[in-house]
Chains A and B, each alone.
Chain A
Amino acid sequence: MNILEVTKLCKQFGGIMALHRVTFQVARGEIFAIIGPNGAGKTTLFNLVSGALPASSGEMRYKTELLNGLLPHQIAARGLVRTFQTVQVFGNMTVLENVMVGRHTKTRYGMLDAALRLPAARAEEKRLRADALARLELVGLAPRANESAAALSFGQQRVLEAARALALDPDLIMLDEPGAGLTRAEVEDLDRLIQRLQKQGITVVLVEHNMELVMGIADRVMVLEYGQKIAEGTPLQVQHNERVIAAYLGADTFPIG
């Protein structure tokens, strides 16, 4: 069964067609990678699906529900979350608090409960802390829970952003170049994390330039070029696709193996 269905999606920025009639489906539970040269429209695709930008035309469905016209926070609340290519952690908060914000929608207590610190608020805060800490444990950031998020290394901030998104208990997570700027060891951790998410039943849509990572873990790969889909299939199929090889000719990131 498909968790995400995108049909003939277009996005125009002035004269630029950033996305042109892109159609694809993501099956529940799979790791779906999107690759393509710089400026191919990968981030734009995330921006449309997550509601950050309106689509020019086309349709996006999540669990059969139409996403077009929904606001970002509404989409997130439905269990579809994304991370950002340019890291956006909350630098004015601790690592733990960042994850707690990620779990905001799972908390209920009202402004009055908060202002008066009523038992309802206190109980929920306690649970929230524990839940957030568990997410940090999952990504290995628990020892740094009380440090300022701004003090983390670039790679760790990426990981924190993923933990923050995971705090929502999403069914689908879209990661925009999670491997960029990570050390080799960190990329291996990332690889393991993504596989663990899959085991937990979370669907992963991955935009990534690190081909070793992509070809190692993706179930299926879609290739974009100049806003258009030029190929789709298993990593092996994609690597041997003529158009894909042509698109990457000259680029030293691809192909591998």
Chain B
Amino acid sequence: MNLQRQPTALRSLGVNARAFSRDFIGYLVLILLLGGMGWIEIVQPGDLSLPKLTGGLLTLDMLTRVGLFTIVLVGLNLLMGYAGQVSLGQAAFYGMGAFFSAILTTRAAALGIPASLSQAWWWAWLVMFAGMLLTGACAYLIGVPILRLRGHYLAMATLGMGVVVYVLLKENLAVPQLNLTGGFDGVHSIPRLRIGDFVIWPVTRYFVLVWFFTFLVIALGLNIVNSRYGRVLRAIHASQSAAESVGVAVHKSKAQIFALSAALASLAGSLYAHFQAAVIPATFGFGESLELVIMSSVGGLASIWGAPFGAFAVLLLKELLRTQLRVVFPGVKGEFEAIAFGVLLIVIMISMPEGLTTGMLKAYRRWRAARVLKQEIAESLEPLGMK
């Protein structure tokens, strides 16, 4: 009995250590990559810069976008990868955050908000936070009925929700007199974020800000995954009836994670608004929702680390196609980008159905296992003199 107990205790330590070291490696890789690229761009050693080094492929602008998408994707991965609930309307929440920030920082006077508030440096931050709460609350209310649906039905319902929000943004929330969302043209002249008098701009500063939030969100996501909430999400994914049978309030849990993913999307939306200084509804339509799902799948659905790598891989791929396709095949038109993008996606998903992160991890494990096996065979043959 004692003999049995000891390895159990050791193994339980072992698993923790593995999870810890995996996360540690994730952080390390990301920090080194971003830190290195940020450093080159900010310090510009020996007149080098990121665009010069990479032929215009990598810019701080692009890396900032990766950060923004990562924030959305962490939420989406919790929802889709862990809980198994599809959302084809996640861009709606992204858009809600973006427009909430845009409207309340540019049309405050029209809304009767005193200048003493709306001119204060912290106003935009307050709006960002309020936007998260509001979007989260909206998602909870929408989520309670629609998350009862499963599979394709849920996909259709979230898709419908995305369309409704998109149309509302485009049609001025159905009250054209106020012209809050600016209709098709959207809202522009959105102020930069500030801390006191310190303006978080140009992009070098904004890049640091966005990635500060991104790391925070990744850390929170990892903590949730390893908590009672994370386990419940996976339980729901595996068997809803079994989860219920042990006292898990399945519908409530699903609505909660939907709300959390929406709040994260809203945060990213707000940060996007202050990054672009202009927002238009077209950015937050079905195409964007689809792209988010693609990034999520490419990175690896059931992994928080899939988020940054999925976002990076897809943005890089699109940029590559945009700039290189014409070099390789002169005279091709824009549609070929979309076709090539689609074909590459299919190739990626067939070769690594669990996404890049899990796929590469598995490939590495296979490679290591093969190497160990080879060594073992060699060692066992040695005494026989059969090397």
* Chain B hits for A83, CB < 8 A: 245
- What are the residues of chain A within 8 A of B248 when measuring CB–CB? 73, 101, 104-105
CB-CB nearest in chain A for B9: A133
Question: Which single residue of chain A is at the shortest CB-CB distance from B82?
Answer: A92
B237 & A92 in contact (Cβ 8 Å cutoff): yes
- From DSSP, what is the main secondary structure of chain A's interface residues? helix
Residues facing B in A75-121 (CB within 8 A) are: 76-77, 81-84, 88-94, 96-97, 100-102, 104-105, 107, 109, 111, 114-117, 121
Q: Is A72 in the interface zone, CB < 8 Å from B?
A: yes
We find that the number of chain A residues with CB closer than 8 angstroms to chain B is 46
> Among B227, B237, B239, B256, which residue has the most Cβ atoms of chain A within 10 A?
B227
A9 and B7 CA atoms in complex are apart in Å by: 49
Nearest B-chain residue to A93, judged by Cβ: B234
Across the interface, which residues of B come within 8 angstroms of A129, CB to CB?
12
- Please judge, given known A-B contacts A73-B247, A84-B245, A129-B12, whether A111 and B223 are in contact too, CB under 8 Å: no
Partner of B247, one of A52, A76, A91, A121: A76
With both chains docked as a complex, state the minimum distance between the C-beta of A71 and any C-beta of chain B, in angstroms. Answer: 7
Total of A-B residue pairs, C-beta within 8 Å: 119
Determine, out of A24-32, A142-150, A237-245, the stretch whose residues face the partner at the interface: A142-150
User: Please, which residue of chain A has its CB at the minimum distance from the CB of B231?
Assistant: A101
Is the pair A145, B243 in contact by a Cβ cutoff of 8 Å?
A: no
Q: Which residue of A lies closest to B249 (CB)?
A: A73
Q: Is A35 interfacial (CB 8 A cutoff)? A: no
* Residue from B8, B220, B246, B247 within 8 A of A142 (CB atoms): B8
For B229, the chain A residues whose CB sits under 8 A away are 111, 114
Segment 300-345 of B: residues with Cβ below 8 Å from A: 302
CB neighbours (8 Å) of A143 from chain B are 4, 7-8
Say whether B247 contacts A93, CB under 8 Å.
Answer: no
A90 and B242 contact, CB distance less than 8 A? yes
Given contacts A104-B248, A133-B8, contact A93 B227 (CB under 8 A): no
Chain B nearest Cβ from A142, distance in angstroms: 5
Give, as a whole number of angstroms, the nearest-CB distance from B12 to chain A.
Answer: 6
Per-residue interface assignment for chain B, residues 239 to 264, with 1 indicating a CB less than 8 Å from any chain A CB and 0 otherwise: 10111111111100000100010000
- Cα distance A94–B4 when bound, in Å? 18
User: Is A111 touching B256 in the complex (CB atoms < 8 A)?
Assistant: yes
**A4 in contact (CB, < 8 A):** no
Question: B residues 76-120 with Cβ under 8 Å of A?
Answer: none
- The answer to whether A117 touches B12 (Cβ under 8 A) is no
Total interface residues on B, CB under 8 Å, equals 35
The reply to whether B238 and A146 form a contact with Cβ atoms under 8 Å apart is: no
Q: Could you tell me if B238 and A90 are in contact, using CB atoms closer than 8 angstroms?
A: yes
**B224 to chain A: which residues have CB within 8 Å?**
111, 114-115
Q: Is B235 an interface residue (CB 8 A)?
A: yes
Chain A residues with CB under 8 A of B223: 114-117
Interface assignment of B232: CB less than 8 Å from any CB of chain A: yes
A168 with B246, Cβ < 8 A, contacts A88-B241, A101-B232, A114-B227 known:
yes
Chain A CB within 8 A of B152 CB? no
Closest residue on chain B to residue A90 by CB atoms = B238
Taking the closest CB of chain B, its distance from the CB of A6, in whole angstroms, is 19
23 CB < 8 A contacts A-B: A52-B244, A72-B244, A76-B246, A83-B245, A84-B241, A84-B245, A92-B237, A92-B238, A100-B228, A101-B231, A102-B246, A104-B247, A111-B229, A114-B223, A114-B224, A115-B224, A121-B227, A128-B228, A143-B7, A143-B8, A164-B246, A165-B246, A168-B247
List chain A positions with a Cβ less than 8 A from chain B. 50, 52, 71-73, 76-77, 81-84, 88-94, 96-97, 100-102, 104-105, 107, 109, 111, 114-117, 121, 125, 128-129, 133, 142-143, 145-146, 161, 164-165, 167-168
Shortest Cβ-Cβ A-B pairs, 8 listed: A114-B227, A105-B247, A76-B247, A88-B242, A72-B244, A90-B238, A115-B220, A88-B239
Q: Which residues of B contact A (CB under 8 A)?
A: 4-5, 7-8, 11-12, 14-15, 220, 223-224, 227-232, 234-235, 237-239, 241-250, 256, 260, 302
- Known contacts A100-B228, A104-B228, A145-B8; 11 additional CB pairs below 8 A are A73-B250, A76-B245, A84-B245, A90-B234, A90-B243, A93-B234, A93-B238, A94-B15, A105-B248, A129-B12, A133-B8
